[in-house]
Amino acid sequence: MARTQGSHSDITGPRVRDAALSLFARHGYAAVSMRQIAGAVGVQAGALYNYTPDKQTLLYELMKAHMDELLAARGGEPWPGDPMAALEAFTRFHIRFHARRPEAVFISYMELRNLSPENFAVIEGLRKTYETQLQDILQRGVAEGRFAVTDARITSMALIAMLTGVNTWFRDKGRLSLPEVEEIYCDMVRKAVAV
């Protein structure tokens, strides 16, 4: 039997990416073989090379897609002029966006070292773009005398680390709902930078 019936490129492609995302997140890029990914899709290993030139590019494209989505989603959000309102909007957006994509987030933070130098540079650039948005909010708040922040760059990284940490414990049917989590973190963020 040479081909499972009814399978097409436009359906197998996404399935390859989904399987890779899920397996990379669970076991790590280096620990997952192309044969495992193929098995999850229900196909032989050779068939994967219709959808990616190699394993490394498969990882890169998952991370690239995640970062693109992140920046696009952020771009579609409101940007309040008031620094504190902008900070709160950023906080809620970050928690909400990341909580909904635990696997992509996990990969994007854990597998950076498995990217080739060129691919790494691209992802790192996108990450910096995102981080700079928070940094700008903080700087504006400082300029307007609303925030007490001695180093906007360090503070932005500290806050992002805190917010992304939600993903290590948050579960959809856990003790706290996402809005409750948002509220707790918003409180902390607001107070942490307030004058």
Partner DNA sequence: TTGATTTGAACGTATGTTCAGTTAAATCTT
Partner DNA sequence: AAGATTTAACTGAACATACGTTCAAATCAA
Q: Provide the binding-site residues for a second copy, judged by CB under 8 A.
A: 26-28, 30-31, 110, 113-114, 148, 150-151, 154-155, 157-162, 164-166, 168-169, 176, 181, 184-185, 187-189, 191-194
Q: Counting contacts by CB under 7 A, is residue 4 touching DNA?
A: yes
Closer to DNA by CB, 116 or 177: give it: 116
CB neighbour burial string for 132-164, b if at least 16 within 10 angstroms, e if fewer: ebbbebbbbbbeeebbebeebeebbeebbeebe
Q: Where are the alpha helices (DSSP H) in the chain?
A: 9-27, 34-41, 55-75, 83-99, 102-110, 117-143, 152-164, 166-169, 178-193
CA angle, 101 then 107 then 111, to 5°: 165
Residue 162 near which of DNA, a second copy, none (CB within 5-8 Å, type-dependent): a second copy
> Going by C-beta distance under 8 Å and a sequence separation of 6 or more, which residues neighbour residue 131?
156, 157, 160
Closer to DNA by CB, 44 or 177: give it: 44
CB of 1 to a second copy, least distance (A): 33
Q: How far apart are CA 32 and CA 130, in angstroms?
A: 29
Query: For the packed helices 152-164 and 83-99, what is the interaxial angle rounded to 10 degrees?
Result: 40
Q: Counting contacts by CB under 7 A, is residue 6 touching DNA?
A: yes
Closer to DNA by CB, 38 or 84: give it: 38
CB of 7 to a second copy, least distance (A): 30
- Binding segment for DNA (CB under 7 A), chosen from 52-60, 92-100, 114-122, 123-131, is 52-60
Residue 191 near which of a second copy, DNA, none (CB within 5-8 Å, type-dependent): a second copy
Is residue 83 a contact partner of residue 190, using CB atoms and an 8 Å limit?
no
Closer to a second copy by CB, 43 or 107: give it: 107
Query: Contact residues for DNA (CB under 7 A)?
Result: 1-10, 12, 32-36, 38, 42-47, 49-50, 53-56
